[in-house]
Amino acid sequence: MRFKLKALTDIWTGGVKDKEHLHLTGIRGSIRWWYEALVRAYGGYACDPTDKDHRCKLQHSDLRNRLKEHNNDLQKALNDLICPACQFFGCTGWSAKFALRITDASGKEITTSIKRGLLFELSFIPKKIFTETEENLLKKTIKLIVEYGAIGGRTVLKPSENKDKNKLSYRKKNHLDYGIIAYQDGYEIDRTGNLILKKPPDKNNYPDWPNLRYFWFIKGAYIDRKGFNKIINNVSLSSFLKGRIGESKKIFSFHGQTSCEANRVRRCFGYVRNEEELDIIKGKIKDICKIKDNQILAWETIQNEL
């Protein structure tokens, strides 16, 4: 599966010492994060691969036993043992179903960091057979990132209320946008049908894990640092939204001033843990940032666009 994309901003993929090198693990991890959030929204279970106590691990002895129980039906055996995200992206004891490759417009593999304005192709080269559900989930994931989200690292940097500080020319680079991508001209990912996933009876998604059902999105506007601080200081879920060491903030905002195109992409999004918190955060965004109610999009709208 191949996706023809364009970087509107630089994409940060990690690496402090070798930041000019393209780290595919950063791209893969970011895509997986969105994929997991979709799996949970569609009713499935997706583990947290960063948590040693809650990540999947496939024991070959367990797989053999389940294959016997299911008359050698590998898919049914896997469904019993590891989550859909691990089935596709891999986990201990089970390799990923694909090799990730990123190439430029000439077909040459990209090994340096992706800069704003670059046309590139994101390829998922099958190493194992993709199921129809996996293909649809992947299409939805990339479509979601392009049209509503962001990819890679440094996406939690907050726009400054001083617009000059958001510019590429400003001496400090701590308010730049990262990870905003678009479709190449003439290319688009078609919408796929809605999915219904089932989670094993012994598995539950933890409330803190990202779930698209509790995301909000705003297109054409952004929240600056001052607005962000007002929001998190005026709601009961402040500590969750702020994040902590080793845990990301839960509000992401992009001012569009570093976009390589004249038609700047301004957007913001974030997530909470349940419907009640979603109503609270939407109310605060409307009051503090003067965002209209119909500008704040949630799962019931987003799922019909993917």
How many beta carbons lie within 10 A of that of residue 264, not counting itself?
17
255 Cα distance to chain centroid = 18
> So what's the pLDDT on residue 168?
77
pLDDT value of position 140: 98
pLDDT for 246:
62
CA separation for the pair 97, 302 (Å, rounded): 27
Task: Give the Cα separation of 222 and 156 in Å (integer).
Answer: 13
- The helix (H) or strand (E) run that includes residue 26 is helix 24-41
According to the model, what pLDDT value does residue 280 have? 92
- Could you give the number of structural domains in the chain? 1
Give the pLDDT score at 175: 84
Q: For position 228, what pLDDT does the model report?
A: 87
Q: Give me the pLDDT at residue 19, please.
A: 62
DSSP structural state of residue 222: -
Under a CB-based contact definition with an 8 Å cutoff, are residues 179 and 150 in contact? yes
What is the pLDDT at residue 124?
Answer: 98
Distance, CA of 85 to CA of 73 (rounded, Å): 19
Q: Could you tell me the strand order of the sheet in which 215-219 lies?
A: 251-254, 267-271, 215-219, 296-297
Domain carrying residue 181: 2-302
Beta strand residue intervals within the chain, DSSP E: 2-7, 98-104, 119-126, 181-183, 215-219, 251-254, 267-271, 296-297
pLDDT at 260: 75
Give the chain's residues under pLDDT 50: none
User: How far is the C-alpha of 268 from the C-alpha of 277, rounded, in Å?
Assistant: 17
